[in-house]
Structure 1
Amino acid sequence: MARFAAALLYLLAAALGRLPWPWLMRLGDGVGALWRRLDARESRVARRNLELAYPDLLPAERAQWHREILRTTARQALETLRLWTHPHARNLRSIRETHGTALFDAAIAAGRGVIVAAPHHGNWELLNQWLAERTALAILYRPPESAIGEAFLNRVRATRGARVTQIRAEGPAVRQLFKRLGAGGVVGILPDQQPKAGDGEFAPFFGVQAFTMTLLGRLAHRTGATVLFAWCERVDTHADGPGFALHIEAAPADIAAADPKIAVAALNRAVEHIARRDPAQYQWTYKRYTLRPPGSAEKNPYAEG
């Protein structure tokens, strides 16, 4: 039943993805405006995150950023449907620039394993497709709550020759990741998702303590794998769709520190550096600061009432 429902969702996504890009842009702009008008969840979370991360913005500036974030987020959702339902070779033509790809090739050639840290900036699904064209890789992901959602993701992220292995972010996943890296393989991790209690440490992120995964640092420290940050950033828009610049940068050495507090602090600094490039392209509709430091008496900043 889940597969059948996922197939129907795929047909709907494919129908939307076939719309001309100017239509998708207008539709995305309309969705963003509707979120703002109705003060939908996306609107409330983005506004709260801006208050936390950019407290010095003037009210007019914050309102402008808020509108731009919602517009860009809605456009990206429709853009992703298009990427999921079109041939990857065609999608990859939208990458107009590449920066640092030699670092990726050299890391693979070194044979010590590669950890690709891919923050929620730009379009990470296009990044996944680029990586899969270069090498087989495993992607750590947090499964959706519904079986239908998971079946849909498995379908849209499938590649020729099964070059992408999706690994659920659960206990047994850690052993699989260590094994893959030990064999010189490539692992992709979204480093800015809030982990479960007990699986992280607090470190500053835009000046606010954020509960941050320790898994990436443990993997890097114990395996000696190379850690690279990667993202696909929008740089232009044409009638046939947006254009992207693909970036790969070396991670700071402290990201593999034995002390997890040092490692997560380095991780957050690197993600923040990328997100500040263009705040509208970062996922500010995500509740990044839900968990608060023990003993701080701080409340969940997204709680209402």
Structure 2
Amino acid sequence: MAITKTSLLIALLKLAGKLPLRLAQRIGMALGWLGWVCRTESRRVTEINLAMCLPELSDQERQALGRTSLQQTGATLMEIPLMWEWPVERCLSLITEIEGEHLLADAQANGEGLILLAPHLGNWELAGLYFSSRYQMAALYSPPHLPEFEDYMIQVRGRLGSELVRGDRRGLARMTALLRQGGIAGILPDQSPRGQGRAMAPFFGIEVRTMTLVSKLMQKTGARALLTYAERLPDGRGFRLVIRDVEAGLADADPVVATTALNRSIEQSVRRVPEQYQWEYKRLRHRPSGEVNPYRPHKVC
């Protein structure tokens, strides 16, 4: 059988999935450190984001945070094969603490649908696995660039029965129906949306394009929203699963009010563990018309 990019990638993921947690994290952190010292594009974007979002820090503090952030992102990338290839029970055993579990219990006791907002903070794959192991859940996803890889991704992410739905009309209809039945929908809320369903709202004080999907789902279904992430503990000691309430106004009919509440909810969690946020993502690239693109200063939005 011919070796394709997809088959090679899956083989590498399966191989990496045999690593113990601590070794996988150390390899990932070493790769992140290398990305920093080699002045990669990831480092350049991280430095821009930190300068714009955390101007209160000194240059030395931002440099230290940026270096640690790339190391933490490297750890996340090396943990993904474990989350996809390890037995589910072994993955879940890595969660040694749960903060805010009463919020989840309250929402479920009232029979409400629940929207779980999982930003690119900590290990979002483990957070999704935890909730799909306990509840009927659908998670929004973007198809990978390698179409043949999609089947593998759906298989490993959905091995506990969680549905993965695309962000198209059919997928959103399924997510709406599940929420009305009291189920759970998982969304990565800190992406820069394309097409319709967006508004400009401040993120760390900077106006950026923000999704209105969360507020629309809340308005249509009466669902509640909570924010969650799996915080990495030091020295391979596992993870703390954090569940937090969101800012008031997230379900507001005014899209600016709603998206402002969404971004503020994410920002508050990021400020708790800024080193574990994916700062190398170009979150600030879609600004109000006429503003300079911070990653391409010769271009305007």
Q: What TM-score do the two structures reach when normalised by structure 1?
A: 0.91
How far apart, CA to CA, are the structure 1 residues paired with 2:34 and 2:297? 21
Structure 2, unmatched stretches of 5+, are none
8 Å Cα contact 1:2/1:147 also seen in 2? no
Q: Which residue of 2 aligns with 1:184?
A: 182
SS in 2 for 1:255: coil
Q: Which residue of 1 aligns with 2:141?
A: 141
Q: Aligned pair count?
A: 298
When residues 5 and 242 of structure 1 are mapped into structure 2, their CA distance, relative to the original with a 3 A threshold, is: farther
8 Å Cα contact 1:2/1:148 also seen in 2? no
How far apart, CA to CA, are the structure 2 residues paired with 1:236 and 1:34? 20
SS in 1 for 2:193: coil
Matched, 1:287 2:258: no
Question: Aligned residues: percent identity?
Answer: 38
- Give 1:26-45 correspondences, 5 Å limit: 26-45=26-45
How far apart, CA to CA, are the structure 2 residues paired with 1:6 and 1:104? 38
2:294 to 281, 293, 301: 301
When residues 253 and 138 of structure 1 are mapped into structure 2, their CA distance, relative to the original with a 3 A threshold, is: same
How far apart, CA to CA, are the structure 2 residues paired with 1:157 and 1:250? 25
Q: Which residue of 1 aligns with 2:118?
A: 118
- Give 1:1-305 correspondences, 5 Å limit: 6-160=6-160, 163-237=161-235, 241-294=236-289, 297-303=290-296
How far apart, CA to CA, are the structure 2 residues paired with 1:18 and 1:146? 23
SS in 2 for 1:276: helix
One-letter identity of the residue aligned with 1:218: K
Shift of 1:174: 2.3
How far apart, CA to CA, are the structure 2 residues paired with 1:258 and 1:286? 29
How far apart, CA to CA, are the structure 1 residues paired with 2:288 and 2:87? 45
When residues 226 and 170 of structure 1 are mapped into structure 2, their CA distance, relative to the original with a 3 A threshold, is: same
SS in 2 for 1:180: helix
Shift of 1:8: 4.1
SS in 2 for 1:147: coil
How far apart, CA to CA, are the structure 2 residues paired with 1:229 and 1:202? 21
8 Å Cα contact 1:6/1:152 also seen in 2? no
Shift of 1:87: 0.7
Query: Per-residue displacement from partner, 1:195-221 (whole Å, max 9, x unpaired)?
Result: 014321111111111111001001112
Query: Per-residue displacement from partner, 1:21-80 (whole Å, max 9, x unpaired)?
Result: 443333223211221233222111111111110123222111111110111111111012
One-letter identity of the residue aligned with 1:88: V
How far apart, CA to CA, are the structure 1 residues paired with 2:197 and 2:272? 28
How far apart, CA to CA, are the structure 2 residues paired with 1:197 and 1:49? 24
Shift of 1:7: 4.9
SS in 1 for 2:133: helix
Moved more, 275-284 or 97-106: 97-106
Structure 1, unmatched stretches of 5+, are none
SS in 2 for 1:193: coil
Stretches of 4+ aligned residues off by more than 6 angstroms: 1-4
How far apart, CA to CA, are the structure 2 residues paired with 1:115 and 1:231? 13
Shift of 1:263: 0.5
When residues 38 and 228 of structure 1 are mapped into structure 2, their CA distance, relative to the original with a 3 A threshold, is: same
When residues 184 and 29 of structure 1 are mapped into structure 2, their CA distance, relative to the original with a 3 A threshold, is: closer
How far apart, CA to CA, are the structure 1 residues paired with 2:175 and 2:67? 39
How far apart, CA to CA, are the structure 2 residues paired with 1:177 and 1:132? 14
Shift of 1:89: 0.6
Shift of 1:148: 3.1
RMSD: 2.1
How far apart, CA to CA, are the structure 1 residues paired with 2:102 and 2:243? 9
How far apart, CA to CA, are the structure 2 residues paired with 1:24 and 1:190? 24
Moved more, 146-155 or 197-206: 146-155
How far apart, CA to CA, are the structure 1 residues paired with 2:36 and 2:234? 25
